């Protein structure tokens, strides 16, 4: 297997050199260099490579034994993880994801890396002619989110965003009731998500474990000493969720879910533009390794004046800004004649009797997707846009980033939807982008 990987990598890197892209983005190769510019999966089955085999890759196990897909490779910089997954799925274990992108049997990739790798790998996969499922949130910064458009606009790849609530029947029914006017004109919106974590320690500095390619794990992130809380934790306190080098915290890492549900409604309610003003408060840890926003209360406003309040669950429970705001996460649409709340855990309406109309809400309907991965696989085979499309993901992700910048700067943020920049605030505008450690960088688009 090693020989196959080495040969594939050499061909892949030669393609990069031929394209003249190595200096800017040392793994982008145009699909034409691989001979698959318009390549779709072979009829009937999709060959999938899993990029990352950690906790967040658990959902990707659904490809195993799938009627229309199979896992043909697993990638991870941690030897133990990739070899365990390879044994589970009966496929090659690959250290460097670029080797998987060079394989002809890989039609699509499932990206479940830490957030700082999502868009860089997605761009490389698109240039290599691969379709992709990208776990949420999308980008590490606004610049990356905007750059991601090239994946579908230029490379015409099929992309499924991994905020799985669009494949929940009760979420779809609740939003369809709102779209069909059952609560009247929408006058207020709320979204809330679990609060972030503080703490963590950069001490003690540890030797990198054998079989752990730490340099590849860091990738475009700054060089940093290896320690347990940075990349060996498990569960919601795992460092990758709460260290600013790798994420912006739960305001996007979890906030992506309620904001994605909100955006699904907005896309079909004629609101393709995100809010244009953001103002709020929040908390950033003063000590410890974890340094992303832990609490937030952001008031955003659309161009026509419709308000959106975006909070963490702890703040929402403390302030209880509306009777429909319950639980540690959710999306609430408040109309002139009632309200509808949807979340991963269920849904509720006021009046409660409105729920009986959920199966027959009216003419305006959303796409039915019983399963997010089934929907993605079918999209790869049919070349149809999946239920959680990339452009919608970009919009909801931008709203999370602008909310975080408003909290981090402590001042109002104005978004210019035409120029797609933060207006009249040069310091805040600089937070739209992140430096990337050499030799990594975004390609020239």
| 38 within 8 A of 156, measured Cβ to Cβ | yes
Residue in 338, 335, 363 with CA at minimum distance from that of residue 352: 338
Produce one character per residue of 277-306: b if its CB has 16 or more CB atoms within 10 Å, e if not.
Answer: bbbbebbbbeeebbbbbbbbbbbbebeeeb
Average pLDDT over residues 281-296: 97
Write down the pLDDT at residue 40: 52
- Mean pLDDT (the chain, rounded): 91
CATH code linked to domain 2-165: 3.40.50.720
Collapsing DSSP to helix, strand or coil, 179 comes out as helix
The predicted model gives 351-355 an average pLDDT of: 97
Mean pLDDT of 69-77: 98
pLDDT tens figures, 391-442: 999 999 999 999 999 999 999 999 999 999 999 999 999 999 999 999 998 8
pLDDT reported for residue 444: 63
**Neighbour order of strands in the sheet with 277-283:** 347-350, 338-342, 330-335, 186-193, 307-312, 295-301, 277-283, 413-416, 421-423
- Per-residue pLDDT reduced to its tens digit, 371-393: 999 999 999 999 999 999 999 99
Gap between the Cα atoms of 138 and 38, Å rounded: 24
What does the alpha-carbon distance between residue 240 and residue 114 come to, in Å, rounded to a whole number? 6
51-61: pLDDT as tens digits: 999 988 899 99
C-alpha span between 20 and 273 (Å, rounded) = 36
Per-residue pLDDT, 42: 59
168-212 pLDDT, tens digit per residue, is 999 999 999 999 999 999 999 999 999 999 999 999 999 999 999
Asked if pLDDT for residue 286 goes beyond 60, the answer is: yes
Under the phi-then-psi rule, with left for phi > 0, alpha for psi from -120 to 50, and beta for the rest, what region is 119?
alpha
pLDDT confidence of residue 131? 98
Q: Which helix (H) or strand (E) holds 348?
A: strand 347-350
Per-residue confidence at 44, pLDDT binned at 50, 70, 90?
confident
Sign for the pseudo-dihedral over CA of 319, 164, 84, 113: negative
Q: Residue 445 has what pLDDT? A: 56
Q: What is the mean pLDDT of residues 26-38?
A: 40
Q: Are 267 and 287 in contact (CB under 8 A)?
A: no
pLDDT in tens, 204-262: 999 999 999 999 999 999 999 999 999 988 888 899 999 999 999 999 999 999 999 99
- Choice among 19-28, 65-74, 150-159, 309-318 with the minimum mean pLDDT: 19-28
The structure tokens listed for 369 are 């997707």
Using DSSP bridges, classify how beta strands 93-94 and 159-162 pair: parallel, antiparallel or unpaired: unpaired
């Amino acid at each position: 297997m090693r020989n196959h990987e080495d040969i594939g990598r050499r061909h892949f890197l030669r393609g990069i050199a031929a394209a003249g892209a190595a200096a800017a983005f040392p793994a982008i190769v145009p699909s034409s260099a691989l001979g698959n510019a318009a390549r779709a999966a072979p009829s009937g089955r999709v060959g999938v490579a899993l990029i990352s085999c950690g906790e967040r890759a658990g959902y990707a196990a659904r490809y195993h034994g799938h009627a229309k897909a199979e896992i043909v490779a697993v990638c991870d910089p941690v030897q133990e993880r990739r070899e365990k997954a390879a044994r589970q799925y009966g496929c090659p274990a690959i250290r460097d994801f670029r080797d998987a992108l060079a394989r002809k049997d890989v039609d699509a990739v499932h990206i479940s890396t830490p957030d700082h790798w999502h868009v860089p790998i997605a761009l490389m996969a698109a240039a290599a002619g691969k379709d992709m499922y990208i776990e949420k949130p999308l980008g590490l910064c606004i610049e990356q989110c905007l750059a991601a458009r090239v994946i579908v606009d230029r490379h015409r790849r099929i992309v499924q965003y991994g905020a799985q609530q669009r494949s929940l029947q009760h979420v779809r029914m609740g939003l369809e009731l709102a779209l069909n006017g059952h609560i009247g004109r929408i006058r207020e919106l709320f979204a809330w998500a679990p609060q972030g974590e503080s703490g963590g320690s950069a001490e003690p500095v540890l030797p990198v474990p054998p079989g752990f390619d730490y340099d590849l794990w860091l990738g475009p992130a700054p060089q940093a000493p290896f320690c347990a809380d940075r990349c060996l934790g498990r569960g919601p306190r795992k460092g990758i969720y709460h260290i600013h080098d790798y994420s912006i915290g739960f305001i996007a890492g979890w906030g992506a879910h309620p904001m994605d549900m909100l955006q699904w409604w907005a896309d079909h309610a004629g609101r393709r533009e995100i809010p244009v003003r953001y103002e709020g408060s929040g908390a950033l840890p003063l000590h410890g390794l974890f340094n992303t926003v832990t609490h937030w209360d952001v008031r955003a406003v659309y161009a026509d004046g419709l308000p959106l309040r975006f909070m963490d669950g702890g703040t929402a429970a403390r302030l209880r800004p509306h009777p429909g705001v319950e639980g540690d996460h959710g999306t609430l649409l408040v109309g002139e004649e009632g309200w509808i709340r949807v979340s991963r855990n269920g849904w509720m309406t006021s009046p409660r009797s409105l729920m009986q109309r959920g199966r027959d809400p009216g003419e305006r309907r959303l796409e039915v997707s019983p399963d997010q991965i089934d929907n993605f696989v079918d999209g790869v085979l049919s070349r149809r846009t999946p239920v959680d499309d990339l452009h919608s993901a970009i919009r909801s992700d931008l709203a999370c980033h602008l909310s975080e910048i408003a909290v981090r700067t402590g001042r109002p943020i104005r978004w210019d939807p035409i120029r797609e920049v933060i207006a009249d605030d040069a310091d805040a505008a600089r937070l739209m982008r992140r430096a990337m450690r050499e030799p990594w960088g975004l390609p020239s688009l």
